[in-house]
Amino acid sequence: MPDRVFTPVSLGPLRLAHRIMMGSMHLNREDDPQALAAFYRERAAGGAALIVTGGAAVSRTGAGGPNYLLINEPEAAAVLSPTLEAVHGAGGKIALQLFHAGRYAFESSYGLRPAAPSEVYSGFSRAVPAAMTQQQIEAVLADFAAGAAQAQSLGFDAVEIMGSEGYLINQFASPLTNLRTDGWGGDPQRRQSFPLAVLAAVRGAVGPAYPVIYRTSGADFVAGSSTLEESRALAVALAAAGADALNIGIGWHESRVPSVQALVPHGHWMGIAGSIRAALAGAGVQVPVIGSNRINSLHLAEQALSAGQADVVSMARPFLADPEIVAKTRRGQAELVNTCIACNEACIDRSLGTEAVSCLVNPRAGRELAFPLVRSVSAPDLRVAVVGAGPAGLQAAATLAQAGVPVDLYEESDGIGGQFRLAGTVPGKEDFLQTIRYFRNELPRLGVRIRPCESPGAEALSGYAHVILATGVRPRPVPLPRTGRLPVRDYREAFAAPADLGRRVVVIGAGGIAVDLARLLTGTPGGPADVTLLRRGHRIGEGIGPSTRWAVLQELAAAGVRTLPGTTPLEVTPEGLLVATAQETVLLPADTVLLAAGQVPHNPLHSALLHQRIPCTVIGGALDASGLNAVRAFDQGLETGSLL
Ligand code: SF4
């Protein structure tokens, strides 16, 4: 039981029962007040000490997209009241995050040109913002003040000012994006003016007794931006100016230093929060410091708190993966926590666009109303068989069992998890094994009978009321002429024995699995020293989400992996793989050629079941192997399990 986590803490006047809060995440569900309320209700009931909403823009110009909350619009009360009622009804506390995107806003949201300190092109929004006039700056300060007053009058327990991640306030603090020479820019001192003015405006609006949290950047990680010393100095100034707590952000959207991806080691950036905490202590202006990023368990949070790196730990994604992460851990059931695997596929990648945010390993997230935990099924005593214990089958079995349906889960191999078992062997993706650990514990608790090493035929399945076929995929064959006996292996064989492939490996394919395989091979002691990925198409890492792709490609390059887009395999020879590029035909010397060029559905039972008129549904990769989409597989497991 983490001890320090479960000690109370005060953020100024805001008393928290323990030290785990749910951090802000834009959900793209802010246009549905009831769905939003249901989402936050479960997180409050699940034990978050404090929830911070997604960014609530203080003006349309400052919105991060078309679905952002707009705190100063007339509809704000109607949108937010259900959430307030739900969270408070569940015994929780909630803060509203006051937000202005600055040059990270999109003109397409409301037809308004983004506004920022200076006209500095943003690679994130792909626009040059307008430099704000003095009058506009004063108007934005008034917008922050009005938003804070509105939050207070609606009944929020606190506000959080969003001053990090490269948004407007952070842009004013940075020499990269603030080129002004007036009182709002010019030297480090004057670049503090706007962040401090926002705090003063908000404080002036809500009074001294209302909690104001300030999210400030601990490290921008963009060349030419604020130094770590400047970030620390700003944090000290904010604390001295009356912020009740500092929540430390890491990196900008334009950063090319990974901060939230799975390949970032757990707790890696907590040292930045720790250095700010030390700077505050040194300056004698200590306020609670909130740390975040790559903490996905209360065990890790405990370590950070015990090491003095923070007073409170903020997690956002782990509350999507499991709204009960705090309650389960507190009950001594950490083994039943559905752990966030930092894939970003259904959350951050979507929050950067307009698709509604959810969670890969918890597809109910954001859809709590559509998929209630408690439901009645028409014939609960009828047993269902799920064949295949990959993501789709696991989720289908859990969903059915949650509703009280007896389920037998068949798996031909000796363990559950499907291709998650492969992913979990990749350096930096070990958390994928946590998903398997979760289902291994959760399914028996729900009454599912897991039957490993069993491949039932149609006869054996005839007694079930329904059969869900989730038999997954097989590697797509790549028919190539061969001369000689050079080994050719598919990706499953390579994952099973990465050290047995020789020193030179050529991988046909460069999608997500091929990239994972390359990372495994280059990280395997005694594994191949020379790894090449090739594909006919031109995009290496196709299918990997936008928040992760650049980071893993960066890592492949650092590991010396050669990537050859626009390359067609022709023939396996005794010396290697003969390939054609647009210019020439060349031999790539290899000890082994690996096939990781996609998958095909593996669905051996369907026709037999149809023939015998056994009701069945095909889901996951067995239905559609394109892109090997785990989000889609979990979704289909939930939806199919809910329909029966
Ligand atoms: Fe975590 Fe992935 Fe779920 Fe996002 S989608 S909350 S990163 S498991």
Cα dihedral value 39, 44, 48, 51, nearest 10: 60
> Residues with beta carbon inside 6 Å of ligand 1?
317, 320-321, 340-347, 359-361
Cα 43 versus chain centre, distance: 17
pLDDT > 90 fraction of the chain, expressed in percent and rounded: 96
Measure the CA–CA gap between 428 and 235, rounded to whole angstroms.
31
pLDDT of amino acid 644? 86
* 264, 296, 322, 340, best to mutate for ligand 1 pocket (most atoms within 8 Å of CB): 340
- Tell me the average pLDDT of the chain: 96
Q: What is the mean pLDDT of residues 577-583?
A: 95
DSSP string covering 564-578, please? ESS-EEEEE-SSEEE
pLDDT band at 381 (very low <50, low <70, confident <90, very high): confident
Selected catalytic residue, list 40, 68, 167, 491: 167
pLDDT band at 375 (very low <50, low <70, confident <90, very high): confident
Closest residue by Cα to atom 8, ligand 1, is 340
Q: What is the mean pLDDT of residues 403-420?
A: 96
Closest of 356, 360, 412 to residue 388, by C-alpha: 412
Measure the CA–CA gap between 226 and 134, rounded to whole angstroms.
23
Task: Report CA torsion sign: 274, 279, 284, 286.
Answer: negative
* 294, 344, 439, 634, best to mutate for ligand 1 pocket (most atoms within 8 Å of CB): 344
Rg (CA), the chain: 26
Residue type at 197? A
pLDDT of amino acid 1? 61
Distant-in-sequence, close-in-space partners of 639: CB < 8 Å, separation ≥ 6: none
Q: How many angstroms separate the alpha carbon of residue 316 from the centre of ligand 1?
A: 9
Nearest ligand 1 atom to the CA of 345 is 5
Predicted confidence (pLDDT) per residue in 174-199, tens digit = 999 999 999 999 999 999 999 999 99
Predicted confidence (pLDDT) per residue in 533-553, tens digit = 999 998 999 989 999 999 999
Nearest ligand 1 atom to the CA of 344 is 7
Nearest ligand 1 atom to the CA of 317 is 6
Whether ipTM > 0.90 holds is yes
Q: How many angstroms separate the alpha carbon of residue 367 from the centre of ligand 1?
A: 15
**pLDDT exceeds cutoff 90 at 517:** yes
CA 315 to each of CA 159, 260, 340, 411: distance values in angstroms, whole numbers, following the listed order: 17, 11, 10, 34
Q: How far apart are the first and last CA of the chain?
A: 38
What's this model's pTM, rounded to 2 decimal places? 0.96
DSSP string covering 88-139, please? HHTT--EEEEEE--GGGS-HHHHT---EESS---BTTTTBPPEEPPHHHHHH
Residue 347 half-sphere exposure toward CB, CA atoms < 13 A:
24
pLDDT of amino acid 2? 66
Q: What is the mean pLDDT of residues 209-231?
A: 97
Predicted confidence (pLDDT) per residue in 69-78, tens digit = 999 999 999 9
Measure the CA–CA gap between 486 and 262, rounded to whole angstroms.
35
**pLDDT exceeds cutoff 90 at 494:** yes
pLDDT of amino acid 524? 94
Q: How many angstroms separate the alpha carbon of residue 51 from the centre of ligand 1?
A: 18
Q: How many angstroms separate the alpha carbon of residue 537 from the centre of ligand 1?
A: 28
pLDDT of amino acid 464? 96
Distant-in-sequence, close-in-space partners of 398: CB < 8 Å, separation ≥ 6: 439, 442, 443, 446, 448, 637, 641
Nearest ligand 1 atom to the CA of 320 is 6
Active-site residue 464, yes or no?
A: no
Q: How many angstroms separate the alpha carbon of residue 321 from the centre of ligand 1?
A: 6
pLDDT band at 377 (very low <50, low <70, confident <90, very high): confident
Element (H or E) spanning 200, and its range? helix 193-206
Predicted confidence (pLDDT) per residue in 245-304, tens digit = 999 999 999 999 999 999 999 999 999 999 999 999 999 998 999 999 999 999 999 999
Task: Give bridge partners of residue 618 from the DSSP assignment.
Answer: 469
Predicted confidence (pLDDT) per residue in 7-49, tens digit = 999 999 999 999 999 999 999 999 999 999 999 999 999 999 9
**pLDDT exceeds cutoff 80 at 627:** no
Cα 203 versus chain centre, distance: 32
Task: Lay out the sheet containing 592-595: strands in order across.
Answer: 488-490, 592-595, 504-508, 530-534, 562-564
Q: What is the mean pLDDT of residues 121-137?
A: 96
Q: How many angstroms separate the alpha carbon of residue 121 from the centre of ligand 1?
A: 30
Nearest ligand 1 atom to the CA of 347 is 4
* 22, 24, 325, 359, best to mutate for ligand 1 pocket (most atoms within 8 Å of CB): 359
Q: What is the maximal distance between C-alpha atoms in the chain?
A: 81
**pLDDT exceeds cutoff 90 at 628:** no
Written in H, E and C, the secondary structure of 285-310 is CCCCEEECCCCCCHHHHHHHHHCCCC
